[in-house]
Amino acid sequence: MLKFLFTVFVLIAVSLQSGLAQLQIGGYGEVALTRNFFSDNINRYSHAADYKDAKGHGRFDLPHVAFAIGYNFGSKWKMYSEIEFEHGGTESAVELEADEAGEYESEIERGGEVVLEQFWIEHSFTGALNLRMGHIVVPVGYTSANHLPNEFFTVYRPEGENTIMPCTWHETGVSLWGRIGAFRYEAQLLPGLDSELFSRQNWIHGGSASPYEFKVANKYAGMLRIDNFSVKGLRMGLSGYYGYSFNNSIQPSTAEKYNKVKGAVSIGSFDFEYRQSRVIARGYFDYGHLGNSEDISKYNKGLMKNSPSPRTNVASDAICTGVEAGYDILPFIYRKTKADKQRQQLFVFGRYEYYDSMYKTAANIADNEWCGRQRAVAGVNYFPIKEVVIKVEYSAGILKKQYNNENSFSIGVAYAGFFR
């Protein structure tokens, strides 16, 4: 009897061990403290001179905390899911809009209490052909494809892409991807964006959201990304997006004057990352165009006040570009001993960005020039172990001369990795 029970116990243990070997658990998280040396008054752009010497303000934040779980079922089937808490909350917030009206707005970015950033099932046919179905990341630009906190030097995600595009951009759709030689490709079929959620300050950023319990899909879109790894230590990527956005809402317009309005969104992007020895360099350039921007602006401003739309003008074109580089100086000040098995690193870095959510506007749409700005950042990243990073930075937000610059000092601590 004891022998039988022991055999059963061993079989169960082996079965559990085999199952756990296929299980992946991990995630990432960020904590940030920022002191902003400028006013956050709603009139700081419309009456900039009144706030030239205004006091600054500070903030504590949990930008992103995500928990991930994946499982390999075998027979080339696997799943992955990721739940993210943004700013430590439920995605319901009251915001004070920085415009002439200065209204309080209760905003729900997505239905539900937390963000389901990824949930997909995948089947691999070969290394060159994989089918992924579910809620997936849309890797347009650098940041959405590389959004873990150890994949950029700044305390917060790169500001330009995080302003004008959804970031991290994720949609429910279908993806085909694979790797052929030195190239990796990915093509996606997705629901279109919702032009009612576009705005002057953030261009199409809000368009992937849905305040409802489902995503409206009256319109569709496509995405293509190709990465090249031919040069050792260097990855270069091209990505593009195209899809209609107008009337992709729960209550589309039936007015005849909007029959020809499509709201086509087209985005082209180049990005790269270089890692070699103690040097890391990254950069991106994104350009986007919105068709029928004047019609969409007029339509959105005519929506009901309790609509989830920002009800502002939106530009026809938006642009953002950024580059950062860091050098590991730790070997100059600390010599590892044989007992030190961890790969500590101390990067001194610099970053420059330029972005404008109203880079070009239609003839009858006013250009809010405060939407265009430069940002210069200097700081350090300390990795006591590869999964944990402590970040310190000073940022200069450079606006056009009629506005006040927006400088800040930030400290952050973050982790990213799988626990098993």
Specify the CATH number for 15-418; select among 3.40.50.740, 2.40.160.10, 3.40.50.2300, 1.10.10.410. Answer: 2.40.160.10
The token duo for 60 is 């504590």
Burial 151-182 (b: 16+ CB within 10 A, else e): bbbbbbbbbbbbbbbbbbbbbbbebebbeeee
pLDDT in tens, 126-149: 999 999 999 999 999 999 999 999
The token duo for 182 is 């030195």
pLDDT of residue 330: 93
Name the residue ranges covered by the structural domains of the chain.
Answer: 15-418
Residues 107-113 have a mean pLDDT of 54
2 has a pLDDT exceeding 60: no
Q: Report the percent of the chain where pLDDT is more than 90.
A: 72
Task: Tell me the C-alpha to C-alpha distance, in Å, between residue 298 and each of 44, 254, 301, 313, 358.
Answer: 25, 15, 5, 7, 16
Spatial distance between the Cα atoms of 219 and 264, rounded to a whole number of angstroms: 10
pLDDT in tens, 4-62: 545 545 444 444 455 567 899 999 999 999 999 999 988 999 899 989 888 899 999 99
Residues 6+ away with beta carbon under 8 Å from 391: 153, 154, 155, 379, 380, 381, 382, 410, 411, 412, 413, 414
User: Which residues on neighbouring strands pair with residue 221, listed in sequence order?
Assistant: 190, 243
* pLDDT classification of 154: cutoffs 50, 70, 90: very high
Half-sphere exposure (CA, 13 Å, Cβ side) for 253?
21
Place of tokens 């079989």: 11
Residues 259-275 have a mean pLDDT of 97
Q: Assign 3-state DSSP to the chain and report helix, strand, coil percentages, each to 5.
A: 15, 50, 40
Worst-scoring range by mean pLDDT, 37-46, 199-208, 347-356, 408-417? 37-46
pLDDT of residue 15: 46
Considering only residues 90 and 19, tell me which one the structure prediction assigns the higher pLDDT.
Answer: 90
291 has a pLDDT exceeding 90: yes
280 has a pLDDT exceeding 80: yes
Spatial distance between the Cα atoms of 189 and 229, rounded to a whole number of angstroms: 25
The model's pTM: 0.88
418 has a pLDDT exceeding 70: yes
325 has a pLDDT exceeding 90: yes
Mean pLDDT of the chain: 89
- First and final C-alpha spacing in the chain: 36
Q: Of 249, 242, 247, 252, which Cα lies nearest the Cα of 216?
A: 249
